Amino acid sequence: MEKEIPDRLTTLGHPQRLALFRLLMRRYPDSLPAGEIGQALGLKASTLSAYLSALQGVDLITQRRAGTSLLYAINMAGVRQTFEYLLLDCCRGRPDLCATFPDLLTEGATPMADRKYNVLFICTGNSARSIFAETLLREMGVDRFNVFSAGTRPQSELNPFAVRLLEEKGHDVTLLRAKNVSEFTGPDAPPLDFVFTVCNQAANEECPAWEGQPISGHWGMEDPVKREGTEAEKALAFRQAYGALKHRITAFTALPLATLDRIALQSAVDEIGREKEDHAG
């Protein structure tokens, strides 16, 4: 411990290594291929390799092989050990030294209040996947949720394929419009209870530090807008995305939100995100 913690802090003291660490923390519990990490951070392969090796060397990330790819993920045991050292050893658990420490201890063990929850779905364009999720949860959740969606791009518009599919499924599309995440920051923004990213690119980006520490999840899937081929093949891609989101949102709405503490609820949200099957419907 005497050497591990200083080595970890030294490794994270480099801005780009810290950015890599933060990216993998945002995507936890996912494992990411090196190529996706490099693209998200704009790093050359040789530089990325050095940074990954450094973080792996101090047990902050893990590496595993899947076929011909190397996948990287956060080593949560090492991260917890580091945080515990800083909070328990350095602060001695004293609230006068680390004012937020008691909140970190108690928040995770406290169930969410039984009320109407605010949920935001984020994608890059807010044109298809996020509006599917917004529409499905608004209708499946009945009066339990206020549901929003937004994109990380400065400008976007609803995809006509996506809107047509929602109409064919009998959904009301009159409330839908393309929005930017900036609408959900600042003093006039609704306080968020859940924030979900539904595409990898949005999850890899630096999103705002949401007020109130909402529970976050990554439910990534392929972008149907990018599917090439015939009209039938493109339509199938939209149906698969719709079906996969419907499956996940069905599981989410079945969770007993008011009885689960935040740790259990975060674990349940992560488990829903790990489901990879296509559910065309």
pLDDT digits 0-9 by tens, 217-273? 889 888 898 888 888 898 999 999 999 999 999 999 999 988 888 888 988 998 998
- Which pLDDT score is estimated for 2? 66
Domain topology for 4-100 = Arc Repressor Mutant, subunit A (1.10.10)
- Which pLDDT score is estimated for 114? 67
117-274: CATH, from 3.40.50.12780, 3.40.50.12280, 3.40.50.2300, 3.40.50.720: 3.40.50.2300
**Identity (one letter) of the amino acid at 159?**
N
Question: Is the alpha carbon torsion for 72, 78, 84, 85 positive or negative?
Answer: negative
- Which pLDDT score is estimated for 102? 47
- Which pLDDT score is estimated for 106? 47
Token reading at 250: 């069905």
**Of the listed ranges 83-92, 166-175, 194-203, 250-259, the one predicted with least confidence:** 83-92
pLDDT-derived band at 136 (thresholds 50, 70, 90) equals very high
| pTM confidence score | 0.75
Q: Which residues carry out catalysis? A: 123, 199, 207
pLDDT-derived band at 277 (thresholds 50, 70, 90) equals very low
Q: Is the separation of the CB atoms in 252 and 271 below 8 Å?
A: no
Token reading at 238: 């939209």
**Would you say the CATH fold of 117-274 matches that of 4-100?**
no
Beta bridge partners of 201: none
- Which pLDDT score is estimated for 155? 78
Beta bridge partners of 70: 65
In this predicted structure, the answer to whether residue 199 has a pLDDT above a threshold of 90 is no
Q: Give the other-Cβ count within 10 Å of 116's Cβ.
A: 10
Distant-in-sequence, close-in-space partners of 265: CB < 8 Å, separation ≥ 6: 112, 215, 255, 257
pLDDT-derived band at 196 (thresholds 50, 70, 90) equals very high
Residue ranges of the domains in the chain? 4-100, 117-274
Beta bridge partners of 151: 123, 180
